[in-house]
Structure 1
Amino acid sequence: MTQLLIVDDEAHVVDRFSTTIDWKAIGVEQVFKAYSGLEALTFLRQFSIDIVITDIKMPGMSGLQLIAEIRRLWPKTKCILLSGYSDFNYAKEAILYQTEDYLLKPVKEEDLLATVERVLAKLELEWEEVISNQRLTYTFKENLPLLRTNLLLELLQGRRLETAALHDKMKMLELSDHEWQSFSLMVVRLDELFLQSDHQDLSWKEYAIGNMVEELFGGRYVIWYAKDAHDYLVFAMTAKRKAAEDNDTVWFERTAAALQTAVGTYLKGKISVMVCHDGRFPYDLATLYSRSIGAFRKRIGSEQGLFMRLEDDRSEEGIGSLKSLYEPPLLIHLLEAARWRDIDEKLRMIFDDMEDMEPGSQEHLLEIYFTIASAYSYIAHKNGRHLSELLGAEYGKMTEGLPFRSVNQLREWSLRTLHRIREDMDRETKDSRTSLIQEIHAFIEQNVQQDVSLQSIAGHVYLHPVYVSKVYKLETGENLSEYVQRVRMDQAEYLLKHSTDKIFEIAASLGYQRPHSFNYAFKKKFGMTPQEYRDRFS
């Protein structure tokens, strides 16, 4: 949304240009008015202004001083100078400040409109350059390691991506030169001596270990690396096509042991290593990673410098957990972001997993119930509501323990409760916005003869001007300035019909400092001057 600021100490110039020119015709959605350089800076600090049209000669801060400050703080903002002086020195100084144009007063509206349109075209070209393929490719290359790490971490945590979507992401991240059909996983834990290092030294050593892995395994494997939330270094590897025929687990494990030796010799510290083989990519990635972390906890513990194959871990799996319940994004986070479609999909996955578990598993049913009920209570309380208000009689069942004995009962309750929470949140948002619009309208109608600028309106409702402007447009379909203008014209129409006030007195009472500006705006609205209107209808 393009935003324009007009600055001039002659109020009638600002009012005329802001209200009588069809700015929307060239793509300007919002026009702000300032009557001094200092007031203009206030707008610039609060709004993302694209173009500033300013007079040169103003008391206090001049137009050139204002432009110098804009160049320093908001270099993307374009500036157009207006002046009643034809002195070439002003033009030279304007060029020095990279002003887009220099127009002599009195300025014709069509000339100003054409100048702004040309500046808008220049802005568009500049932004096209910013998002050009060449520049984006360069930035993307710089951030490639971080993007690869983030994707691997998501997969390790169990994020599910469609096969095509994952393939496209890996291709974009230059990870698909070799087919990731199977993989080996190596998890490295830096032991005590490393943890005595300061943060900078530790980061350097982690980076060095990554280089060692590349040196030792890189001839045979494509290596994908990340540091996880436990500060473990996780290496997913797939065999290169040319080396696949002579790949074997003995070589892999021997090389992993060589890594331990090299780290001890050259980095003077111990690492514990967990390896596993022949995972199906990406399906087994999260499972094998989770089992590796579990094996570290149960089999290695606090011992240092150990080496283990995951295949040798014979720990009891237990009853198993509902992975979809804890895979990111969590239900509680989806509720916070009000991502309703994703919440529906999350619940579907949870209950599908439940149906695949041991039939009639009451403990899993209890696990799901407590997790969902906790998330619902959290979001209700965060919105300032009691869950009991939303659930009514059903809340009593929750206080009695587990109210559901089947997956279907719990599914129906979960979806029904979610629907009530969503309806309540939507209604609250709508009600709060409706109240805001009503308060804004009342303020404008009561103060139309005084200051009804966006700044004063925002101050009255204790909200940021940008928020007020955008919410008003979203709810009503028009700009706030259009409503202010309509109220002024309605009152002007009434006063012309029912009062004996002079035209200039009516103009002043409606906030117009110059009768000329009032006449211009009135004629644009009604197709006749105020005097012609009074003669015809009074």
Structure 2
Amino acid sequence: MYKLLIADDERVIRESISTLIDWKSLGIELIGLAKDGSDAYNMIIDECPDIVLTDIKMPGFTGIELIEKIRKINTLTQFVILSGYGEFEFAKAAMRFGVRHYLLKPCSEQQIIDAMQAVVADFERARLHDFGGKRRKIERIIYHHTFLNMLRDCLLGDCKGNRLMRILARYEHLLDLYRYPCELIFVKGIKETDSRNIFNLAMGFYGEGNELTVVYADQNIYFLVRSGDIEKIYSSLAESIRICDCFCEVCTAKFQNLSELMNAFVAEIREASRIVYYSADVIFPIDKDENLHSGIQKEMAILFDDHVGIASLQPDSIRNSLAGINDLLSAKHFTISLIISAFSRIDVISIIAATEWIEFVNHASSVDEILMVLEMVFKSLGRQRASSQRNKAISYKIRAYVMNHLADSRLSLKWIADNVLYMNEDYISRRFIKESGSKFSDFLTEMRITKAKTLLLEIEADRIADVAARVGFENNPKYFSQIFKKYTGFSPSAYRERYGRL
């Protein structure tokens, strides 16, 4: 299902469109209605809709301004404009941002359906075209850079025993450390130049699309593979060695899982003076410089510290961290380490976004270009954090307002949306459920019943009708008694009688 957001400042229009069309039959899920451009912008940032049906003239941001702002951070969301303005300048501005569908009010239900079907068809064509090769490439890039980070972390300092297991645990959600039996194949007595030739030939025989993990360490080359792939690796490795005309010894060791293999492998290569990681996407010498590593960790700590905040991570700080790196390759790895950590810790970052950033870094020809990518990454993360903090603030404001106004019989989510937060009711309802795990109506009733229990047990307790009024049931004490009994199993009088004596 593709997610749809409707943005129009005319309530009748946005609600009519939302109910007029059977969205599910089009493969579309309607996720919300926005009453103006600002509301739409916030909802797009939070909900990441695939399609936005938007008006042109709205308070906050116009439709064109909304599209322009979103295009700077997200090129995947598709916009359909529904407007009463047919001027060519509006249409030309929309086309400049890639908008292909511009509907004039009044339009028919079928015209909206035709536009939506065209957008869905575009998504399907793109998905079918990109899914196979791009998805595999994305997963392979993420896998190798994650494994490289994990190996480097394990090689720093005297890392063994519980400390090593803690490092592996950081990567457990990204790498399958425990499910599959693994084998370590190592070729002894081989020059680094020959190791590269063997790796390239082995990749050719084995297939570049596979997660073949290869490490060179002081005249030994190691292949870390799942046990099910062992025959294929052996045949490709034997043929590669024969072609390279190398005289070397091939040994193997079996392990129950990747975690067990890593314990043995790290101990095996820890003292090596030269370690190089090989994959189809990255050939990277592993520098065990703890100063560089501590710099990366410092930036990560700032990046994910809620108390420090993303705004504290400035370009100058990044530039200083990169200043001590002597070569472009190491600078790239520093940057990719940050991106991988961001991807692993912040669930709103898509695998597509992480991979695009990594590809930008890999194609950078200077440290300045890398800095540009980093600034783009941190601006994006800053928006995500600001959005998250804003949403938490919304949930907090709702709870605080309820606790201070329990006696107000008008209290409802719609009333708070219209008179306190000035935001769309559907939007804050979804945010409240997502943040708290419960519906607003359930939360409100629970708070009212909790307050009523306290009032009923006070020494100088009021009459039942007065208690009802003090928790928002002023006009209907009988309904208060029904709700109270439903939640507690006792009528208000019976509750006071039973627990007031304790």
Q: Which structure has the greater CA radius of gyration?
A: 1
TM-score between both structures, scaled by the size of structure 2: 0.39
